[in-house]
Amino acid sequence: MSISEKTSLAQEPALVVDDVVKRFGRGTEIVTAVDHVSFTVRQGEFVSVIGPSGCGKSTLFNIIGGLLSDYEGAVKIGEERISAPHPAVGMVFQEESTFPWRTVIDNVAFPLELQGVAKSERMDRAHHFIDMVGLASFEKAFPSQLSGGMKQRVSIARILVSQPKILLMDEPFAALDEQTRLLLGDKITQIQQELNQTTLLITHNLTEAVQLSDRIVVMTYRPGQVKRIVDINLPRPRTSDVVGSDAFGHYVAEIWNDLREEASRGMADSESAASRRATHG
């Protein structure tokens, strides 16, 4: 393959989100959660979708993951429109999702077990990805013996083991403290670079999005629309050291400018809803 062919392949979108609309409810009670959202994710690229609570991020996550099939527009991998979970998409959920009755290695090997991969091979592959997320000495441990951050790393290894084309993550570090979050960000960046893993992260955390991403899709408050797509031109390979740089601060400030208005609308909306509830008992 020539260099130009490789370059064009790298530029080819791994995932296309094309004019996606999702409405919930019926009659006069219809709420538009996602409103004509379009963007692409290129091969090997790390894209984050950021927005205030209520902007339809999780709805978008479920649509791209194939868990919500009834939507307008198209989410495409190649030419295929996603309307059910797709083997090319590996999902990491916000809530802790390890199986408490399985050891770390059995958790990670689980997708391979479903595919009928021979035991020795699935153990080898699971071992490789456990090592990659830095849990080699915890293979025989049960999730109850691990911290929140370690459990999320198990979930990530469990998805990586089946080598999905696209890693789709919904606020995987939301329940973790800031320091663990930064360190796990390093781990994710390292893995993403090592595997050239196409990744789409759904988050409401501004610093996390800037630390990890090549591009950030900024969403508006309800109905969720794309407000702006920001290219993050921070050097790679990247570590959490980048957090101290001027450029990082510049990106955070720039995106916050976009988000502040949306977050304020969201806050005003929830305050008026709370006030209505209080008035009507």
Q: Which residues contribute to the site for other proteins (CB under 8 A)?
A: 65-67, 84-85, 87, 89-91, 93, 95-97, 99-103, 110-111, 114, 142-145, 162
**Number of other CB atoms surrounding residue 88 within 10 Å:** 17
Q: Which amino acid, residue 280?
A: H
CB-wise, 52 or 65, nearer to other proteins? 65
In the complex, what is the shortest distance from the CB of residue 202 to other proteins, in angstroms, rounded to a whole number? 14
Starting at the edge strand that comes first in sequence, how are the strands of the sheet with 89-92 ordered? 89-92, 166-170, 198-203, 46-50, 215-219, 226-231
Element holding 128 (H helix, E strand) = helix 119-132
Task: Identify whether 237 is preceded by a cis peptide bond (ω within 30 of 0).
Answer: yes
Check if the beta carbon of residue 117 is closer than 8 Å to that of residue 145: no
Which phi-psi region, left, alpha or beta, contains residue 265 (left: φ > 0; alpha: ψ -120 to 50)? alpha
Residue 129, amino acid: F
Token pair listed for 253: 């400030």
Smaller CB separation from other proteins, 65 or 223:
65
24 vs 93 by CB, closer to other proteins: 93
Nearer to other proteins by Cβ, of 144 and 279: the residue is 144
Q: Assign 82 to helix, strand or coil.
A: coil
Q: Which is nearer to other proteins, 57 or 238 (CB)?
A: 57
Least CB distance to other proteins at residue 144 (A)? 6
Q: How far is the CB of 228 from other proteins (least distance, A)?
A: 30
CA distance 175 to 183: 14
Least distance from C-beta 152 to other proteins, angstroms? 12
Cβ of residue 159: shortest distance to other proteins, in angstroms?
9
**Least distance to other proteins, CB of residue 244, Å:** 35
Q: CA–CA distance from 251 to each of 40, 45, 104, 213 (Å)?
A: 21, 18, 37, 11
**Residue 82 Cβ vs other proteins, minimum distance, rounded to whole Å:** 12
Q: Judged by CB, which is closer to other proteins: 119, or 236?
A: 119
- Residue 31: phi and psi, rounded to 5, are -120, 125
Closer Cβ to other proteins, 116 or 244, answer by number: 116
Contact at 8 Å (CB) between 255 and 66?
no
